[in-house]
Structure 1
Amino acid sequence: MLMFCPTCANILIIEEGRDCYRFACATCPYVHNVRRKLGSRTYPKLKEVDDVLGGAAAWENVDSTAETCPECRHGRAYFMQIQTRSADEPMTTFYKCCNPSCGHRWKD
């Protein structure tokens, strides 16, 4: 927490006094003793993250291919391709296991 001198508007420094800490100005004789502990926390408000893949609805009308799931070793997986990088790089292929009890997702 920054405190400013009410006399000359410079930043106050913290120094140790005889029996307490105090705010003191480096340019003028202003001194303010700290009698109790002050503190506050302000947490930033996080913005909502958009689902890049379109959420659960994105997997409704996709095709399946012969791709082995790395989790359950099922032989088929749904797939979709999305351009995630610049246009001169290849598309990223996203997979979802066709096994309803697994549903593992990975990318290639």
Structure 2
Amino acid sequence: MEFCPMCGSMLMLELQSPTRFYCKTCPYVCRIERGVKLKRKQLLVRKGIEPIVSFDDMKNAPTADVPCPNCRHDKSAYKEVQTRSADEPATIFYACLNEKCKHRWNE
């Protein structure tokens, strides 16, 4: 992606002979030489996502009589976190207390 050095607008590509970049808002034109290669694809690397509430946070969390949707265990630990703006309700993160399940969900 190239930008106009005169006005800062994004330059458009014209593939006619001669190939050139041009600006829609001002008269700037930049001819492209034959030795220049245009890349059409850019590989994007996905970043890892870190959980908002980790298993360590849930170790000392209070428990509630909320059944697990995965294994139907009757107890779960919960933690309430304000993840959105102040006028929105808080998000409640749950973790199943069954050692075999350890399912996590939120409301």
How does the TM-score come out when normalised to structure 1? Answer: 0.55
Q: List 4+ stretches of structure 1 deviating above 3 A.
A: 41-46, 48-51
Match of 1:78, SS state, is strand
Residue 52 (structure 1) shift = 2.0
Amino acid at match of 1:86: S
Structure 2 residue 76 is the aligned partner of structure 1 residue 95: no
* Map of 2:56 onto structure 1: 57
Share of identical aligned residues, percent?
A: 34
Q: Gaps spanning 5+ residues in structure 1: where?
A: 1-38
What CA distance in whole angstroms lies between the structure 1 residues aligned with 2:98 and 2:52? 23
CA RMSD across the alignment: 4.1
1:21-100 pair list within 5 angstroms: 44=45, 46=47, 49-53=49-53, 55-100=54-99
Larger radius of gyration: 1
Amino acid at match of 1:63: P
Q: Gaps spanning 5+ residues in structure 2: where?
A: 1-38
What CA distance in whole angstroms lies between the structure 2 residues aligned with 1:98 and 1:45? 32
How does the TM-score come out when normalised to structure 2? Answer: 0.55
Structure 2 residue 103 is the aligned partner of structure 1 residue 107: no
- Give the aligned length: 96
What CA distance in whole angstroms lies between the structure 2 residues aligned with 1:42 and 1:85? 31
